[in-house]
């Protein structure tokens, strides 16, 4: 786990400073990602400069330093991440007589040897892990950039004055002399819709992200370059889903659980390998508890587990985590965090996330990382389990309410939606606290102030496509909020709209929800734009499978993994995600849907695995996903801070956001008329980021 940066200028375009100075400035901006050491490689005639900041996790010796040159001198690499199957690849090279005289035992050296033996793309396709890397081939003069399958590690690039810049963080690109970067208003609108900016976009018009599972190759003859360099896909979750559905696992639930148990244990075992202390985030939920249990089975000593707790019982999961840790016998560390301590993180968010990011669970994620880094250098995390095994409540509630609501006349649905909206967040919060006292843990009776407006919006939908878009959206028409964009702008809407039926082979006029979230039709990725094509619209459970794949393509890499990576790397902590092991994901798509979602609960097969290890511990609580009382904080301790950032005069002066809709949402929220905390948090995170980047 490290940070990397690079400059590629084979055409010899004028530079604002010597390449040695530029790469040092870019690499210095990544010091938080790699606090242990730095390294550089500059090849003036080739126009190449590479920089690396190291967080030493595997092979702590000088043999693990980067940039690293291959044994024969053909390739040079910078790599951010970990290759979990590097030992298998090393053995494969040795068996074939293609291994060099090894200098150490780092995974980076194995990747270089693979490039020499198999070619660059073939070597990367063999890798199982989390990574963003750059490989330069001296023989061809080509630079290759690759990002891992799910997007666990970030990789940004841009073209300034004919010069290609790339790095692990936008801050590295921004360190290029002249501080390039102009705010992309369409990307801002996407932020307001999704609380993050989907790849390949960034907040800057000049910069892009390499999309998960993609690579790109750049050489002098491919120029002149633009910001939108052509990329290729080397791994596709949609194809994995289709193959799994074509080859279903049919040996029954017990055999399925046994097989998954073996795959997960193998993934956990590989990801526990490190030359530094390793722990696990333990929320007390299904995903993290199962990982902790498997780690403890594989470890000769108590595993380090970490939990944070909050004073508000509606948001505190520490008791459940404590119970699991006690039953497993882990070395458990728990810190209770007051609202005041949590709010101190808010001022750091623009710096930690580099570009505006507005998932409010970033606050507890940062606090958890700060806790763990005091004891370990690597932490396993349960992220990815929800998308792979059906853990989100929308997989249950969405289709259920959709089917039920279709029995009601449209007029009645509109009337009921208006009644739900009229209750107000304060009243829902009172109901929730009462129900929490009367029936703690009862499924569905949590976060009502957030869920009821979503239910009201769902009742207004006339197509399932609209439902999914609503579930993954905050501002319904973000283009109407951003100055310079037309309301209902095609450029923003295309990320979540249905392609023409004739162009995608879907029967014309068919009300097929899965075709509806089709950003791919716009040629720009997006939230599930590719997911619709993986499923037959007539099959049972297609809506649930579609949402799971759509989330894997969008919500997971653009939100969840960004949140985790930036929080952890801000304190030099490496995080690893066993649920995203390719073998685990491939098998999950072979499972019957009932092994994932059914009977009013998700992750059913994971529950079975956990029951084998903790049979007397209940895991029926509603998933909270690191939720915080954001709505109350905005009306309380954050009110003055927010009021200043949302000032109509300020918004008008800055010229990015229309003051009227923002002010209306702010006033309604403060008055308790509507629960707008997530919409407002999107705006506030942009405003705070803008202030920090003047």
Q: Tell me the DSSP string of 122-176.
A: HHHHH--EEEEEEEEETTTTEEEEEE-SS--S--EEEEETTEEEEESSHHHHHTS
Contact 55, 574 (CB under 8 A): yes
The Cα–Cα gap between 320 and 215 comes to 42
Confidence of residue 526 (pLDDT cuts 50, 70, 90): very low
Contact 527, 472 (CB under 8 A): yes
Name the architecture of domain 2-234.
4-Layer Sandwich (3.60)
Neighbours of 335 (CB within 10 A): 15
Question: Which H helix or E strand runs over 48?
Answer: strand 48-54
The Cα–Cα gap between 123 and 325 comes to 40
The model's pLDDT over 444-493, given as tens digits with 9 standing for 90+, comes to 445 576 677 777 877 887 777 677 887 888 998 899 999 999 887 766 65
Which three-class secondary structure state does DSSP give residue 231?
Answer: coil
The residue among 511 and 62 whose pLDDT is bigger is 62
Superfamily of domain 238-389+555-613: HUPs (3.40.50.620)
pLDDT mean over 666-683: 90
pLDDT computed for residue 504 by the predictor: 30
pLDDT computed for residue 501 by the predictor: 37
For the chain, the first-to-last Cα distance in angstroms comes to 30
pTM: 0.90
Q: Which residue has the tokens 């595993």?
A: 303
Confidence of residue 390 (pLDDT cuts 50, 70, 90): very high
Domain spans of the chain? 2-234, 238-389+555-613, 629-694
Confidence of residue 253 (pLDDT cuts 50, 70, 90): very high
Neighbours of 163 (CB within 10 A): 22
Smallest Cα–Cα separation from 576: which of 23, 128, 69, 136?
128
* Mean of pLDDT over the chain: 87
Confidence of residue 247 (pLDDT cuts 50, 70, 90): very high
Please state, for a pLDDT cut of 90, what percent of the chain lies above it: 64
The residue among 261 and 515 whose pLDDT is bigger is 261
Lowest model confidence (mean pLDDT) among 503-512, 567-576, 642-651 = 503-512
Confidence of residue 542 (pLDDT cuts 50, 70, 90): confident
pLDDT computed for residue 525 by the predictor: 41
The Cα–Cα gap between 690 and 654 comes to 9
- Inform me whether the pLDDT recorded for 512 exceeds 50: no
Tokens found for residue 272: 């526990």
pLDDT computed for residue 256 by the predictor: 97
The number of CA neighbours under 13 Å toward the Cβ of 344 is 6
The Cα–Cα gap between 451 and 191 comes to 21
Beta-strand (E) ranges in 106-147?
Answer: 129-137, 142-147
Please state, for a pLDDT cut of 70, what percent of the chain lies above it: 89
The model's pLDDT over 341-379, given as tens digits with 9 standing for 90+, comes to 888 999 999 999 989 999 999 999 999 999 999 999 999
List all residues 6 or more positions away from 213 whose beta carbon is below 8 Å from its beta carbon. Answer: 147, 148, 149, 150, 151, 233, 234, 235, 236, 237
Contact 35, 130 (CB under 8 A): no
pLDDT mean over 381-387: 96
Confidence of residue 497 (pLDDT cuts 50, 70, 90): very low
Instruction: Characterize 616-628 residue by residue with b for buried, 16 or more Cβ atoms within 10 angstroms of its Cβ, and e for exposed.
Output: ebebebebbbbbb
Cis peptide before 200, with omega less than 30 degrees from 0?
yes
pLDDT mean over 270-280: 92
Question: Which H helix or E strand runs over 111?
Answer: helix 107-118
Smallest Cα–Cα separation from 445: which of 460, 429, 459, 456?
429
What percent helix, strand, coil does the chain show, rounded to 5? 45, 15, 40
The model's pLDDT over 40-78, given as tens digits with 9 standing for 90+, comes to 999 999 999 999 997 766 656 777 889 999 999 999 999
Smallest Cα–Cα separation from 522: which of 96, 190, 279, 158?
190
The pair phi, psi for residue 153, each rounded to 5°, is: -110, 140
User: What is the 8-class DSSP label of residue 557?
Assistant: I
The model's pLDDT over 96-146, given as tens digits with 9 standing for 90+, comes to 999 999 998 899 999 999 999 999 999 999 999 999 999 999 999 999 999
Same fold, 2-234 and 238-389+555-613: no
Smallest Cα–Cα separation from 670: which of 467, 424, 505?
424
pLDDT computed for residue 520 by the predictor: 33
The model's pLDDT over 612-662, given as tens digits with 9 standing for 90+, comes to 999 988 776 555 556 788 999 999 999 999 999 999 999 999 999 999 999
Smallest Cα–Cα separation from 173: which of 147, 208, 142?
208
- Inform me whether the pLDDT recorded for 508 exceeds 60: no
The model's pLDDT over 286-320, given as tens digits with 9 standing for 90+, comes to 999 999 999 999 999 999 999 998 887 778 888 89
pLDDT computed for residue 570 by the predictor: 92
pLDDT computed for residue 15 by the predictor: 93
Tokens found for residue 400: 């259920």
Lowest model confidence (mean pLDDT) among 135-149, 216-230, 331-345 = 216-230
The model's pLDDT over 579-589, given as tens digits with 9 standing for 90+, comes to 999 999 999 99
Beta-strand (E) ranges in 184-227?
Answer: 207-209, 214-218
The Cα–Cα gap between 376 and 382 comes to 17
Smallest Cα–Cα separation from 139: which of 70, 78, 231?
70
The Cα–Cα gap between 549 and 676 comes to 28
The Cα–Cα gap between 550 and 519 comes to 11
């Amino acid at each position: 786990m490290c940070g990397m940066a690079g400059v590629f200028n084979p055409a010899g375009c004028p530079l604002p400073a010597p390449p040695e100075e530029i790469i040092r400035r870019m690499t210095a901006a990544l010091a938080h990602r790699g606090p242990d050491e730095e390294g550089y490689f500059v090849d003036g005639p080739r126009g190449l400069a590479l920089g690396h900041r190291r967080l030493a996790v595997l092979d702590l010796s000088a043999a693990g330093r980067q940039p690293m040159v291959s044994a024969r001198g053909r390739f040079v690499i910078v790599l951010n991440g970990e290759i979990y199957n590097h030992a298998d690849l090393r053995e494969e090279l040795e068996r074939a007589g293609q291994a060099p005289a090894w200098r150490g035992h780092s995974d980076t050296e194995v990747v270089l040897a693979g490039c020499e033996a198999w070619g660059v793309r073939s070597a990367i396709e063999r890798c199982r892990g989390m990574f963003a890397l750059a490989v330069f081939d001296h023989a061809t003069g080509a630079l290759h950039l690759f990002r891992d399958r799910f997007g666990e590690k970030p990789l940004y690039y841009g073209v300034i004055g004919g010069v290609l810049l790339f790095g692990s963080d936008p801050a590295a690109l921004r360190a290029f002399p002249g501080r390039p970067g102009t705010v992309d208003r369409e990307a801002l609108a996407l932020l307001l819709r999704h609380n993050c900016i989907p790849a390949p976009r960034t907040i800057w018009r000049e910069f892009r992200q390499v999309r998960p599972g993609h690579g790109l190759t750049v050489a002098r003859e491919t120029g002149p370059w633009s910001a939108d360099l052509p990329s290729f896909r080397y791994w596709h979750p949609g194809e994995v889903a289709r193959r799994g559905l074509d080859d279903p696992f049919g040996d029954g639930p017990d055999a399925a659980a046994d097989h998954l148990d073996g795959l997960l244990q193998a993934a956990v075992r590989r990801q526990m390998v490190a030359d530094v202390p390793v722990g696990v985030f333990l929320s007390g939920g299904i995903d993290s508890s199962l990982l902790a249990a498997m780690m403890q089975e594989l470890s000769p000593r108590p595993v380090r587990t970490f939990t944070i707790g909050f004073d508000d019982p509606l948001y505190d999961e520490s008791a459940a985590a404590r119970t699991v840790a006690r039953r497993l016998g882990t070395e458990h560390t728990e810190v209770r965090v007051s609202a005041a301590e949590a709010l101190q993180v808010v001022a750091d968010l623009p710096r930690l996330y580099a570009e505006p990011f507005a998932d409010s669970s970033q606050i507890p994620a940062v606090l958890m990382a700060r806790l763990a880094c005091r004891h370990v250098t690597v932490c396993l995390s349960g992220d990815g389990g929800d998308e792979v095994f059906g853990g989100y409540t929308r997989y249950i509630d969405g289709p259920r309410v959709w089917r039920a609501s279709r029995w009601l006349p449209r007029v009645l649905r509109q009337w009921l939606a208006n009644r739900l909206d009229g209750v107000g967040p304060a009243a829902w919060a009172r109901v929730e606290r009462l129900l929490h006292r009367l029936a703690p843990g009862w499924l569905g009776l949590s976060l009502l102030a957030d869920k009821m407006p979503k239910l009201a919006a769902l009742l207004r939908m006339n197509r399932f496509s609209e439902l999914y878009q609503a579930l993954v959206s905050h501002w319904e028409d973000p283009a109407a909020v951003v100055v310079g964009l037309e309301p209902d702008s095609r450029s923003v809407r295309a990320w979540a709209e249905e392609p023409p039926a004739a162009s995608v082979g879907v029967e014309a006029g068919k009300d097929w929800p899965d075709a509806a979230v089709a950003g791919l039709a716009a040629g720009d990725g997006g939230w599930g734009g590719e997911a619709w094509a993986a499923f037959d619209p007539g099959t049972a459970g297609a809506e649930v499978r579609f949402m799971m794949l759509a989330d894997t393509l969008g919500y997971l890499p653009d939100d969840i993994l960004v949140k985790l990576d930036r929080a952890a790397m801000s304190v030099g902590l490496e995080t690893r995600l066993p649920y995203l092991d390719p073998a685990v994901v491939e098998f999950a798509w072979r499972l019957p849907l009932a092994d994932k979602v059914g009977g009013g609960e998700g992750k059913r097969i994971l529950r079975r695995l956990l029951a084998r290890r903790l049979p007397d511990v209940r895991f029926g609580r509603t998933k909270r996903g690191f939720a915080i009382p954001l709505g109350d904080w905005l009306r309380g301790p954050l009110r003055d801070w927010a009021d200043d950032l949302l000032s109509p005069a300020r918004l008008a002066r800055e010229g990015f956001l229309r003051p009227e809709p923002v002010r209306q949402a702010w006033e309604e929220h403060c008055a308790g008329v509507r629960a707008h905390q997530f919409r407002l948090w999107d705006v506030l995170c942009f405003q705070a980021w803008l202030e920090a980047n003047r």
